[in-house]
Structure 1
Amino acid sequence: MTTEARPTSGVSRTAVIIAQARATEDARTDRLFTDPYAQSFVDAVGWIQVAEAGRLNQGHFVLRTRFFDDYFRAAAQAGCRQAVLVAAGLDTRAFRLEWPAGFRLFEIDLPGLLAFKEAVLGVREASPSCDRKTVRADLREDWPAALLAAGFDPEQPTAWLVEGLMMYLEPADNDRLVDRIGKLSAPGSRLAIEHINQAYTELPQLKAVHARLRRVGAAWRSTIEDPCAWLGAHGWTATVVPQTELAARHGRPVPELTDPARVGSARMWLAEAVRSAPEVSAAPGRA
């Protein structure tokens, strides 16, 4: 495996840290999901030491993974027969989830990260449980054209996922991203996102995290105060699911850095939405 393909800097580095959390969860007897490939990604790069705040957020990464797993299951049950992982990173849902017959899953990410991912999965002889397509594209460029060229059908309901990305983009880039997703979304499509509010970025526990992210070129660049209003302005009817609810649902402690009793108004949003109306130009609720 070439050094150039190893995701050791920038946002790609965070993909390995998330894989570490998934690998740790997979090793538990009471795991909330299985991911037999996560440890392989970690082994290929080497374990990355995380700041104390990263350790405190491991529970969030686990609950987030299960939340989005359940989102895809519900979307497939509701009739979606294709999904798009925007900035897919080291996501392995194409391999570890059970999909309906004929389901198509598209993974969009940078060529280098996808090359690393394919190399690791190739060594494992991993076989997807759906029709999986990788789309090598930069989200700042014309990724919709690349997605369409890969066989995506904009006339079919789609389940979209934007996980662990939006905080790294400028507000205008997030608006553009969701606008593009909306234009490719047939009635019945769904969208799930993760984002943060301004108060979350100001938590004193995250000071070391911000310094490290800046050093590796992955600083947070945007926040959102009302994800439902923001998504609504783009034509989606959204619901936020708090980590307190997810923790209670799965019998886990509330992750410390998402517990309102500890962090006050700070929020790391997990939201799911359905396509409700044509998008409009205004986009309140973001900063």
Structure 2
Amino acid sequence: MRTEDDSWDIVSSVGATALGVAALRAGESRRTDALFHDPYAELLVSAVGSASWTRLSQGDVGRIDQSTVRSYGVLGDLLVARTCYFDDYLEAAAAAGLRQIIIVAAGLDARAYRLDWPAGTTVFELDQPKVLQFKAAALADRKPAADRREVPVDLRDDWPAALRGNGFDPAVPTAWLVEGLLRYLPADAQDRLLTHIAALSAPGSRVAINTTPGQLSPTMQEQEDGRDRLLATLDIDLDVDALWYPAEGRSDPVHWFTEQGWTVVRADPAAVLTDRGRDVPEEVAAEMRDHLLMTATRGDSTP
């Protein structure tokens, strides 16, 4: 990921992307027709002490002009869709008897706290040490609903060894979650990550992933325009697209896992919302269908 542990900052660079996800989840949770409720998201945003981020997390976006709404509306819809999709994925894995959950680059994800985990479930959270430190401090008086184990490690280092050192058992079927990560990794690092996941997955394991295809990468001008609008309307300086690595040479996760013998199922983000009663304009739905939500399951044998 494009960050260094000793320079990580919750309100800038990759740290701010995690904060943005939490803010949008908090905003969705405040809606009267919310599709999920994440009471921890607003706590995490408030812990930053930023009026701008708190305003966003509380849904106070009245100063945003219509051009900004159009620019970021699809992003918000995608985030809600993927949150619902991954919540369902993890709940289904738990219902199927999987008790070993791994959230890669966990950021400010609060699923270890907010989902209804069966007894005996362990949730491993992998991320930069300072990310996990910030979250632990912000939620210090809250009790997770599972055995939550922090794995403070840079994904460029030997994270499988760090995972084993925290009690992970590769002989046990595992549910992996890789949310909002792949485009922040170089192509070769993405393939290494997928290779490690496959190698550590016993038969019956599952992995859920989202990513944005290369053809949707914004132009430099589009990046600058989006950053300027967010800065002008909410006083938040965040350029997510600039943190992405190029799509060239990047494996398609659907093809990658299929070639490894896993069974892959794709999902339409727009359908995730409409199936829950959320109205999605057709022009937004068309753009959302170009984004990937997928689950792969390893059978009894994998090449």
TM-score in same-fold range (> 0.5) = yes
In terms of mean alpha carbon deviation, does 100-109 or 192-201 score higher?
192-201
Conservation of the 8 A alpha-carbon contact between 1:22 and 1:35: yes
CA distance in 1, matches of 2:262, 2:25: 30
Q: 2:262 aligns with which of 236, 242, 251?
A: 236
Conservation of the 8 A alpha-carbon contact between 1:179 and 1:234: no
Corresponding position of 2:275:
249
Q: 1:273 aligns with which of 296, 300, 303?
A: 296
Corresponding position of 1:71:
89
Corresponding position of 1:285:
none
Corresponding position of 1:282:
none
Q: In structure 1, the residue corresponding to 2:39 is in which secondary structure?
A: coil
| CA offset digits 1:26-61 (Å, max 9, x no partner) | 112221111111111211222347965334421211
Task: Report the CA distance between 1:255 and its aligned residue.
Answer: 7.3
| CA offset digits 1:238-258 (Å, max 9, x no partner) | 111011211221111337885
> Is 1:89 matched with 2:107?
yes
Closer, same or farther in 2 for the Cα pair 1:202/1:243, shift >3 Å?
same
Aligned residues: 272
> Is 1:169 matched with 2:194?
no
**Counterpart residue type for residue 165 of structure 1:** L
Q: 1:186 aligns with which of 165, 189, 202?
A: 202
Closer, same or farther in 2 for the Cα pair 1:102/1:205, shift >3 Å?
farther
CA distance in 2, matches of 1:215, 1:273: 27
**Counterpart residue type for residue 134 of structure 1:** E
Q: 2:128 aligns with which of 92, 110, 126?
A: 110
| CA offset digits 1:96-120 (Å, max 9, x no partner) | 0001110000000001111111110
Q: 2:149 aligns with which of 117, 133, 155?
A: 133
What does residue range 1-80 of structure 1 map to in structure 2 within 5 Å?
6-45=9-48, 46=50, 47-48=52-53, 52=69, 53-80=71-98
> Is 1:259 matched with 2:285?
yes
TM-score (norm 2): 0.81
Between the two proteins, what is the percent identity of the paired residues?
42
Closer, same or farther in 2 for the Cα pair 1:218/1:255, shift >3 Å?
farther
CA distance in 2, matches of 1:257, 1:41: 33
What's the Cα RMSD here?
Answer: 2.8
Task: Report the CA distance between 1:6 and its aligned residue.
Answer: 4.5
**Counterpart residue type for residue 259 of structure 1:** A
| CA offset digits 1:241-277 (Å, max 9, x no partner) | 01121122111133788522xx49x722111110145
**Counterpart residue type for residue 34 of structure 2:** R
CA distance in 2, matches of 1:137, 1:131: 19
TM-score (norm 1): 0.85
Conservation of the 8 A alpha-carbon contact between 1:56 and 1:257: no
Q: In structure 2, the residue corresponding to 1:108 is in which secondary structure?
A: strand
Closer, same or farther in 2 for the Cα pair 1:141/1:24, shift >3 Å?
same
Consecutive unaligned residues of structure 1, counting only runs of 5 or more, are 280-287
Task: Report the CA distance between 1:236 and its aligned residue.
Answer: 2.4
**Counterpart residue type for residue 291 of structure 2:** M
Closer, same or farther in 2 for the Cα pair 1:272/1:215, shift >3 Å?
closer
Conservation of the 8 A alpha-carbon contact between 2:213 and 2:291: yes
> Is 1:153 matched with 2:156?
no
